[in-house]
Amino acid sequence: MQQMNERPRILLVDDELQLLRYLGDRLRRDGYDVALARSGREALDRLDVSWPDIVILDLMIPDLDGETVASEIKRRADIPIIVLSAISSSESKVELIQSYAEDYVTKPFHYPELLARIKRVLRRLNERIPRQAVTLGPDLTLVLPRRQATVRGTTLSLSPTETRLLATLVANLGQPVSTEQLLSRVWSDDDANPAYVWVTVRRLRLKIEVDPDRPRYLLTSRGGGYRLMPAG
């Protein structure tokens, strides 16, 4: 992560040269250090030179499609990604955010909207994630900085969204966190709805619980929301 006196670094990936230049100029004026890439391979080459703090990625790019590029970025490091796409269906949006994106902006968009989402994602980078392993029981340990959970001796990967949700629950261990609080802390999307939380919780239970239908650690609270409980 950047030092306090450094400009946040953004990698913009889009095959529309005019849009790239426009966004690059606006973001630089607003205090960001911006690198540009017009293809998937060029974007990955940029990663070999320096790590950005955030990637703004169009899905429709030459030589490597956006989803392949996003998967490769996440394989290398947990760099937050904002997806740009002309596809506006809510199903596609949820799937992308669950898989690898921190946020999703539909084209065409207004620059102030994109800037606000960039600021929200970068602000979240400074939120506290436990630096040490969190052991919840003999068969479950969370290592959130690595986006991993060790379940009955097997190490499993966690998505960025799953990691943020667990970090929020760990910060309130044993206490209920409402669905509204989880939406606010975990998702940048102003249109996020409770289904995002339900889907993510279900995916997590399938990963970390012995019996996802009778969860031992990730519990539903009677008054609404969820809580993470240590064994016993």
Same domain membership, residue 161 and residue 62? no
Domain assignment present for residue 3? The answer is: no
The bridge status of strand 226-228 relative to strand 218-220 is: antiparallel
- 111-125 and 17-29 helices, crossing angle to 10°: 60
Domain assignment present for residue 48? The answer is: yes
Same domain membership, residue 144 and residue 121? no
Domain assignment present for residue 1? The answer is: no
Structural domain including 61 reads 9-125
Please give the model's pTM, rounded to 2 decimal places. Answer: 0.56
CATH of the domain at 99: 3.40.50.2300
Q: What is the pLDDT of residues 119-154, one digit of tens each?
A: 988 877 655 556 678 999 999 999 887 788 999 999
Q: Which of 58-62, 128-132, 161-165, 228-232 has the lowest mean pLDDT?
A: 128-132
Cα–Cα distance, 137 to 151 (Å, whole number)? 10
